[in-house]
Structure 1
């Protein structure tokens, strides 16, 4: 049943602008699936769904099936500008604030671009951490993100 439900989720987000877990629960109910928000939350995480800006709103989309480190640079820059609100550092961590629901998608994108010094990310709903090694690189990662927010192109 889970596999069938998750296939339906992928179909629904492709065909409709699903902007929240509540919207997805309703759409699944209309399609004959009785689910809770907790079930939908797990499905979203397992499917790796991300929120992207479309028509001035964030909506769920399936991740592209690209290899690690193969994220389109223009798409990455747009994702950062559309979703990130603030960037700060603390020791070897970069703390990134996003719009609600966008942290996991942006964190996944950061993991895909494989910046030097980035060990990995840990994401919540509207905040994620970038773990940086060595500690001195945290400011470099923060500055790189801020440059992307400002619309600067940096290599």
Structure 2
């Protein structure tokens, strides 16, 4: 049972990071596509266990991404991607803090980051991972962009 739950929660992590999930029902439907047949009550328990939170925009975010979300929403100016390299432009003097938050989030697709004064270069495993990371950063920037 614990293995099934951990597999399901890993799928939830991936779904929440890659899609704008606004409701538990939407999460149940997304999990079905991953081969998990579960009830909304089960998902509700998983959300509590994992510490998922909703952003002001109404989108679920992982607890471990909250610090990153706060930094990105306040300090990131622009996100640009080419292939598996993502350039994150930030307020002057804040790049190293943002890079540390990216590293602390332990995103599976991110190989590492390099920070200057106002720029972070993030290298991902594949071009597809680069797209996902760019999408996550844009999501975390919220509606101000």
Q: TM-score range by the shorter chain?
A: 0.5 to 0.7
1:138 aligned to 2:130?
yes
Is the 8 Å Cα contact of residues 83 and 126 (structure 2) preserved in structure 1?
A: no
Give the root-mean-square deviation of aligned CA atoms: 1.9
**Structure 2 CA distance for aligned equivalents of residues 145 and 72 of structure 1:** 10
1:102 aligned to 2:64?
no
User: Which stretches in structure 1 are left out of the alignment for 5+ residues?
Assistant: 1-69
What is the DSSP-based 3-state SS (H/G/I as helix, E as strand, rest coil) of the residue aligned with 2:126?
coil
1:81 aligned to 2:73?
yes
CA offsets 1:41-67 (integer angstroms, 9 cap, x no match):
xxxxxxxxxxxxxxxxxxxxxxxxxxx
The alpha-carbon deviation at position 112 of structure 1 amounts to: 0.6
Q: How many residues align?
A: 82
**Structure 2 CA distance for aligned equivalents of residues 84 and 91 of structure 1:** 20
| Structure 1 runs of 4+ with >6 Å offset | none
**Structure 1 CA distance for aligned equivalents of residues 82 and 69 of structure 2:** 24
CA offsets 1:134-155 (integer angstroms, 9 cap, x no match):
222101100100001015xxxx
1:112 matched residue in structure 2: 104
CA offsets 1:9-40 (integer angstroms, 9 cap, x no match):
xxxxxxxxxxxxxxxxxxxxxxxxxxxxxxxx
Larger relative contact order (C-alpha < 8 A, sep ≥ 6)? 2
1:62 matched residue in structure 2: none
1:129 matched residue in structure 2: 121
The structure with the larger Rg is 1
CA offsets 1:99-120 (integer angstroms, 9 cap, x no match):
0000000011000101121000
Is the 8 Å Cα contact of residues 71 and 109 (structure 1) preserved in structure 2?
A: no
Q: TM-score if structure 2 supplies the norm length?
A: 0.53
What is the DSSP-based 3-state SS (H/G/I as helix, E as strand, rest coil) of the residue aligned with 1:86?
strand
Is the 8 Å Cα contact of residues 107 and 122 (structure 1) preserved in structure 2?
A: yes
In 2 relative to 1, CA 72–97 (structure 1 residues): closer, same or farther, beyond 3 Å? closer
